[in-house]
């Protein structure tokens, strides 16, 4: 091993990390799942990275070996790195939530739900107990931990899933006098559920479906009794009662006409059934032998304030954000306008934390959104959400321009042409990641939007308090070239037809510095940092039958992975780093 600069070490780490280009495999019995580094879509907003190697941070960690403030520790580390080849773990990002979803959707077919002893009614109306049965689960937590360990040492061996037997909690041998207990509960039917002037009757047939066996008592004296299954009750309430009973709160919405605030949507208070509390109350009522009870309902107040604009503090534009979506397809443009319309006229209360996902609500057809196609293996699957990151990015820029504290923001996995310059974007996807900020102006903020051709603007109306915002231009560095165009054969397109994602983009790191100076002289500084992996163009090619290999374009001579080739960071220092400190993560 020889001594190298940080830049050279970074290059070699990325080069070595290309072993993950074809993904990491999980298996159970004869079933295998290969997890690729990224899932791509024809709308880049819906694309995401499952895992990505951070070569820059790995090189920085290795550089620190032998550079401790304590010279004794430094010499010890240097000696260990030279003699023992001290290992520095590879730094990586992993979306554990999405990985767990993939594992579950692939391997849940092998799991067996545990069966407690259950209560059954025969055709004569008598109750008996069906015996318990053990279940089988797969340890996804351990599988993810094994994958993380493999990533840290650049081990590409497949990860085997471990199964384990799940024991029941309720056994038939512990049930006594069950038939009489169940018949006693049935004498309470019908039950009457009430809220205000509305009533619902629960007949015996429904009550029987809710019956379950429960464990009661302490740690050393447990007893099996007949009760009601609260999950089934809550599900029944949600499907059969709540749709007729619930009235969602509707906040008033406002618009600026000249310098005056005018309502264009009236506010209305609402209420909704508290499913868990109501289910618990029904179960307890049966124990107490009560036939009639009030459902638990949560009331929610709508924002209906309509004062003079000066009293609400809405009198001027306090911040404007902008983004451009030129080149967007029809569905994406539709979704941008739909999302902007949802936000238009919303009032943000003083000291409220604004949640963009919370205000947008459900992202589906019922809310007016259209789908875009996501590429998974060799198939295209429609998903909702395309275009909404245009909303997230523009709101991020508006909150920055207004000088509001940002409480939650995540950048995209990839550089997106719609959101340049890099580092100033914000991705959203229900339910997470969200974009959030605080209204600390002391007054209401009114959201208004404008679309001018291919330009989206959000204006925040409120009262200027004299705060000053300073924001540097993004510094973009650690440029990484993308992998070559990848051709995936598919049966979803006509033979010979090709459909491609957005053109390839370089990966990079970026940051900008942000400062807010308040009227009292207080200053709050923050650096917003972003990491982007390379965007590999992927094309689907329609074929009659799938071949065993996939074609690859030769137009870009770089390794295939999205982990790419390093282009020298011109701002980096030329300090040297011992390659021996990285051990197997750098290959000469």
* Residues 235 and 346 both lie in one domain: no
C-alpha span between 142 and 159 (Å, rounded): 10
* Residues 330 and 293 both lie in one domain: no
CATH at 258: 3.10.20.800
Q: Does residue 238 sit in helix, strand or coil? A: helix
Is residue 43 in some structural domain? Answer: no
* Residues 279 and 323 both lie in one domain: no
* Residues 215 and 342 both lie in one domain: no
Encoding tokens for residue 413? 């996995």
What's the number of domains the chain is made of? Answer: 2
Is residue 66 in some structural domain? Answer: no
Q: What is the dihedral of CA 339, 345, 350, 355, to 10 degrees?
A: -10
Q: Which of 269, 300, 331 is the last residue of a domain?
A: 300
* Residues 221 and 334 both lie in one domain: no
* Residues 351 and 446 both lie in one domain: yes
Question: Which domain covers residue 319, as residue numbers?
Answer: 309-470+506-532
* Residues 325 and 450 both lie in one domain: yes
H or E stretch covering 542: strand 538-542
Is residue 346 in some structural domain? Answer: yes
Is residue 276 in some structural domain? Answer: yes
* Residues 421 and 344 both lie in one domain: yes
* Residues 314 and 203 both lie in one domain: no
Which residues of the chain fall short of a pLDDT of 70?
1-7, 9-19, 40-45, 55-56, 61-86, 218-220, 251-252, 256-267, 302-310, 373-381, 548-588
* Residues 245 and 351 both lie in one domain: no
Cβ pair 48, 38 in contact under 8 A: yes
Q: Which of 276, 300, 324 is the last residue of a domain?
A: 300
Is residue 81 in some structural domain? Answer: no
Peptide bond into 190 cis (omega under 30): yes
Q: Does residue 395 sit in helix, strand or coil? A: helix
Is residue 423 in some structural domain? Answer: yes
Question: Angle at which helices 140-152 and 96-107 pack, to 10 degrees?
Answer: 130
* Residues 234 and 336 both lie in one domain: no
C-alpha span between 374 and 328 (Å, rounded): 16
Is residue 105 in some structural domain? Answer: no
Encoding tokens for residue 61? 């960690």
Cα–Cα distance list, 587 to 79, 93, 563 (Å): 21, 21, 16
C-alpha span between 12 and 56 (Å, rounded): 11
* Residues 268 and 314 both lie in one domain: no
Instruction: Give the model confidence (pLDDT) of 430-459 as tens digits.
Output: 888 899 999 999 999 999 999 999 999 999
Q: 């999950």: which residue's tokens?
A: 231
Is residue 519 in some structural domain? Answer: yes
Q: Which of 403, 397, 455 is nearest to 425 (CA)?
A: 397
Q: Which of 265, 300, 335 is the last residue of a domain?
A: 300
């Amino acid at each position: 091993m020889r001594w190298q600069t940080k830049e050279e070490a970074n290059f070699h780490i990325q080069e070595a990390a290309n072993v993950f280009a074809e993904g990491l495999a999980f298996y159970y019995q004869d079933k295998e799942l290969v997890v690729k580094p990224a899932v791509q879509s024809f709308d880049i907003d819906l694309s995401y990275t499952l895992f990505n190697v951070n070569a820059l941070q790995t090189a920085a960690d290795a550089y620190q070996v032998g550079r401790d403030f304590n010279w004794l520790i430094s010499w010890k580390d240097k000696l260990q790195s030279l003699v023992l080849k001290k290992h520095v773990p590879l730094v990586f990002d992993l979306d554990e939530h999405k990985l767990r979803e993939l594992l579950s959707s692939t391997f849940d077919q092998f799991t067996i739900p545990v069966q407690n002893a259950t209560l059954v009614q025969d055709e004569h109306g008598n109750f008996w107990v069906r015996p318990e049965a053990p279940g089988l689960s797969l340890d996804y937590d351990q599988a993810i931990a094994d994958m993380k360990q493999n990533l840290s040492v650049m081990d590409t061996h497949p990860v085997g899933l471990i199964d384990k037997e799940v024991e029941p909690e309720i056994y038939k041998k512990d049930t006594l006098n069950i038939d009489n207990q169940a018949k006693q509960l049935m004498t309470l039917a019908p039950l009457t559920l009430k809220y205000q002037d509305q009533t619902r009757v629960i007949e015996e047939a429904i009550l029987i479906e809710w019956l379950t066996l429960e464990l009661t008592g302490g740690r050393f004296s447990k007893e099996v009794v007949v009760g009601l299954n609260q999950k089934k009750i809550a599900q029944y309430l949600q499907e059969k009662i709540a749709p007729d009973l619930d009235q969602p709160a509707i906040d008033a919405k406002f618009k600026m006409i000249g310098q005056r605030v005018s309502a264009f949507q009236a506010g209305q208070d609402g209420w909704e059934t508290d499913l868990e509390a109501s289910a618990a109350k029904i179960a307890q009522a049966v124990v107490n032998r009560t036939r009639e009870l009030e459902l638990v309902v949560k009331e929610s107040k709508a924002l209906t304030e309509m004062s003079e604009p000066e009293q609400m503090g809405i009198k001027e534009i306090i911040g404007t954000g902008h983004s451009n979506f030129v080149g967007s397809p029809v569905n994406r443009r539709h979704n941008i306008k739909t999302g902007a319309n949802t936000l238009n006229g919303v009032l943000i209360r003083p000291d409220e934390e604004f949640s963009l996902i919370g205000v947008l609500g459900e992202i589906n057809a019922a809310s007016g959104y259209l789908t875009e196609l996501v590429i998974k293996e060799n198939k295209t699957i429609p998903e909702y959400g395309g275009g909404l990151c245009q909303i997230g990015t523009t709101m991020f820029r508006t909150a920055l321009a207004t000088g509001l504290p940002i409480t939650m923001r995540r950048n995209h996995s990839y550089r997106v042409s719609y959101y340049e310059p890099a580092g100033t974007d914000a991705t959203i996807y229900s339910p997470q990641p969200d974009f959030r900020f605080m209204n600390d102006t002391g007054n209401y903020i009114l959201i208004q939007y404008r679309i001018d051709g291919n330009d989206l603007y959000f204006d925040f109306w409120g009262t200027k308090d004299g705060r000053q915002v300073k924001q540097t231009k993004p510094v973009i560095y650690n440029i990484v070239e993308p992998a070559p165009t990848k051709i995936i054969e598919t049966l979803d397109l006509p033979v010979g037809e090709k459909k491609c994602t957005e053109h390839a983009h370089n990966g990079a790191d970026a940051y900008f510095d942000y400062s807010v100076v308040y009227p009292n002289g207080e200053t709050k500084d923050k650096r917003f940092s972003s990491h982007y992996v390379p965007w590999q163009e992927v094309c689907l090619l329609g074929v009659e039958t799938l071949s065993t290999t996939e074609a690859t374009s030769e137009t870009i001579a770089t390794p295939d992975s999205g982990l790419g080739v390093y282009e020298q960071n011109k701002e980096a220092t030329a300090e040297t780093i011992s390659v021996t400190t990285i051990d197997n993560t750098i290959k000469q």
